[in-house]
Structure formats: structure tokens, C-alpha cells
Amino acid sequence: MEEIIMLFFRSKKFVKFSLVLLIATFSLTIVGCSAKKQTENKAVQKKESVKEETVNEKSAKLYNEVLDKITTYDFDDNGETGREYKYAIVKMDGNDISQMLVYKKPESIVGRFRVFSYDPKGDKLIEPIEVIGYGVAGAGGFRGEVRTNDDAMGLYYEELTSGTGDSVVMNIKIKDNSLNTETVWEGKYDNMPSNENTKEIKWVDISDRSELSKLAEKTIEAKALESKAVSNTSDKSKDGDNSKTTSGSNKLNEQIAAEEKSGRVVLDGTIKVLTYDGVLELQGKSDPNSGGFVTDEKYIIFVLSKPQSLNIKTGDNRGKRSGLVKMIRLSASNGNVNYNESGKNIKISIDTDDTYWPSDTSLPLGEPGTSSAKILDGSTNSQAVIKVEPANEELAKKVKNTNQTVKAKNTNMREKPSKNSAIVRTLLSGTTVYVIDTYIESPERMWCKINYDGATGWISYNTINGSIK
């Protein structure tokens, strides 16, 4: 009996001991798992910390590489040697990623800058090709000034043109790896509203890389980047939905996309076929060249639905500059323009390499002209509005010592190759003339020296090629 009782107590002690042992083992397991989880969390946090620290380091490294080879970049200045290069680190695409502006001052024309950014998702450099004029021109009254916005959404840009006091304020943003400019105000410089929500940009010489060193030392929250990526995706989705709603047929959308992909600029507006008086009335300006224009010329003007900043060639063909465009003169080649389009709201595409700021006071005053444009209507054979040969030595050789037929009505033959020169006589449409010499005034205008009916004088080649009706 005693043996049975002892066995019973021993069994209870054994069970109790087993329970204690089991509880201890379970507790250690929980503690071990918790410790393991904490270790894993720390490892993840450490990994995320490394990622956060390298975002700015990567962008700084890429920006350094840009500065190392900056002389190889195109600043739309015909490759002029830069008297100085400067850079600035700014925030213009939100607070997450810093952008770099690089300023170049060519030898003989106004300075200009380019924008560079970093794509953390693709781990690559973003290099918008657009160039923005900055500084004060030696002549012509151009002045461009840029500052950062306090909300880090775009650059605040002011432009004063032509010495007339006409000014424009734009916001420059990065969109789809390109610079997008939005006009926020235009008018006379004296009436320009002040903006206290902007800051001056700190420019430093490219030999001083201290600003890039400071950038590399900063960290970025990974969650902020993820949030920005989601936001960008959402914005693009919204843009796509809006485009489908407002752009018309899918074919037209596809055509617009193809034109933009090829590097052409798509514009929305209205074509107007106007007389000399009609152009002046449209602009609300007076002709500064008394007697300088033929009053029965037909001007084919594309009036933009909304003024837009375009980066196009200068009249002297020495580079490009950005400016606000309200209308563009289209050149018609051999009656190729469909005059039935006059007054209609349409879309056209232009090549900025064939579009020029005026080098004189021709109509429309202060607005550019283009020698390459296309009406977009969604069809596979969209009508080429114009394709006129630019005035150059090759064209001059082709025209010289040939008979040409005047296509414009009442063309004035002048004493010298100038619209302000004295009129020798007036030629009617269909008159055949012999070209004995040429003079290239600008990429848009070439003069032909002719003999006609015993008299010698000059006429514009545009009256021969059909650009002037």
C-alpha cells in the first residue's frame, strides 16, 4: 500500500514537473520567436534605411556625371563655347527628389539653362531636352528670371521680351520626362503681380561640387517615394481618362501621340486667312513700317486657343529661345492650304526646327512663322499645310539665273532687298521674271534680284514660291 501511495505522489510530482517544463519550453519558444521577429524587423528597417540613404547619393552621383561632361550637352546655341557654367540644386517636382539646373552663358547670345532629374523607380537620369532662356540679352530687351516655388511644384519663371514691356509669368514643371510650361499671367511689366511664395536660386560654379555633397548626405523616406509613385500613377490615369473624353476620336489621339513622339509640337487653335488690315486688327497694333507692307497680301495665321511658350529658333538662326506665342504665320506652298479650314478650330503639328522668331517687324508683329506644319484630323493622309524650303545657300543657287513666275497679286519690285525700300514698279500675278542674284535676309526670307521690262529691282522669294497669295 505504501508503495502505491509513493508511486501516486511521485506521479503527481512528475506531472507537475512536466507541466512546468512544458510551460517553460513554450515561453522560451515565444521569446525566441519574438526575438527572431524583432531581429528580422531590425534587419528590414536597416535595409530600408540603406535604401533611403542611397536615393540622394545616387542622384548626386548622376548629377556629378552630368557636370563632368556638360560641354557635350546641347543648349540650342549652335555649339557656342560657354563662357561660364553654373548649377543649382532645387525642388520643382515635389519634396522627395531634388532636381539640378545647369546654366550656360554662351559667347554671344543670352544664357540658358537645362533641367536634370532622377527617377528612383527606374534608377536613371531624366534629361528633358527643353532649354529655357535665362539672364539679360545684350540687345533686344529680352530678360528671363527663374525662382523656386515654396510648394516645390514647378519653377516660377518671368520673361520680358522685345523691350516693349510685354511680360509673361510661367510655371515650369516636369511631365513625362519633358518640361511643361503653363502661363499664369501676361501683361505689361509694370503691372506684374508680386509673388512672395518664391525663393531665389543659389547658383554655384560647376567646379564647386559642395552642393552635390550636401545632397548626397540627405535621406529620403521610402514611404514618401512609394506614395509619390502611387500618386503619379493615379494622375496619369486621370490624364488618360480626360484625354479620352476631350480629344475626340481614337484615331486623332493616336495621330497626336505619333506626332509628339516624332518630336513635333501639337497645337490647338484656329486658322484665319486675313488681309494686312485684318492681321493688325487681330493683334490690336499699328504698323510701325509706314508703307512697308503690300496691303492685299493674304496672311494665313494660326491663332492658338491659349498662348503657349515655345522653344524655337531665333530669326538670325543662331540658336533657340523660349517665348510666349499667341499666333503663328503659316506659309502656303503652291496653294496647298485648304482655305475651307479658315475659321475652324483644329489641331496642327509643327517642327520647332522649322519655326522662327521674326528678325524684323513683319506681320504678325513679334510672332513667329513656320515653314513646316500639318493639319491633324485623324486620317492617314493628314494634309501638310506647308513644306517650304528654308532660305539658304542651296535654295539661292537653285533659283539664281532662272526664270520664275510671280504667284502673289500686286507684288512690289523694290530698289533694294528691304520692305522699306522704294518701290520701282508693281508686278501682277503670273508675271515671268529672270532672277540674276539673291540675298538671304533670314531663314524665312530670301530676296531675288530680277530684270523685268528693262528695269532691275528686288522681290521677295515668298511671292514666287506661293507663301504670299
> Concatenated DSSP letters for 193-234?
PP-SSEE----EETT--HHHHHHHH----HHHHHHHHHHHHH
DSSP conformational letter for 93: B
CA distance 89 to 146: 13
CA distances from 275 to 16, 282, 372, 438, 456 (A): 110, 10, 22, 27, 28
Decide if 78 contacts 97 (C-beta within 8 A). Answer: no
Decide if 400 contacts 350 (C-beta within 8 A). Answer: no
Residue 246 has phi, psi (to 5 degrees) of -105, -15
Distance from the first to the final alpha carbon of the chain: 133
CA distance 370 to 44: 58
**pLDDT, tens only, 124-171:** 999 999 999 888 775 556 788 999 998 899 999 998 875 577 888 999
Question: Cα 319 from chain centroid?
Answer: 15
**pLDDT, tens only, 16-49:** 545 444 555 545 554 455 555 555 555 545 444 4
Residue 98's pLDDT is 95
* CB neighbour burial string for 393-427, b if at least 16 within 10 angstroms, e if fewer: eebbeebeeeebebbbbebbbbeebebebeebeeb
- Report, as an integer, the average pLDDT of 457-466: 82
Q: Domains in the chain, start-ordered, CATH in brackets?
A: 67-245 (no CATH), 250-387 (no CATH), 393-465 (2.30.30.40)
**pLDDT, tens only, 197-217:** 889 999 999 999 999 999 998
> In angstroms, what is the C-alpha Rg of the chain?
34
CA distance 430 to 339: 21
> How do strand 178-188 and strand 369-370 relate by DSSP bridges?
unpaired
Residue 138's pLDDT is 58
Question: Cα 13 from chain centroid?
Answer: 86
Residue 148's pLDDT is 94
| Coil, strand or helix at 122 | coil
**pLDDT, tens only, 364-413:** 888 998 877 888 876 655 554 444 456 778 888 999 999 998 877 678 88
CA distance 460 to 445: 7
**pLDDT, tens only, 241-268:** 554 444 446 888 888 888 888 889 999 9
CA distance 119 to 127: 10
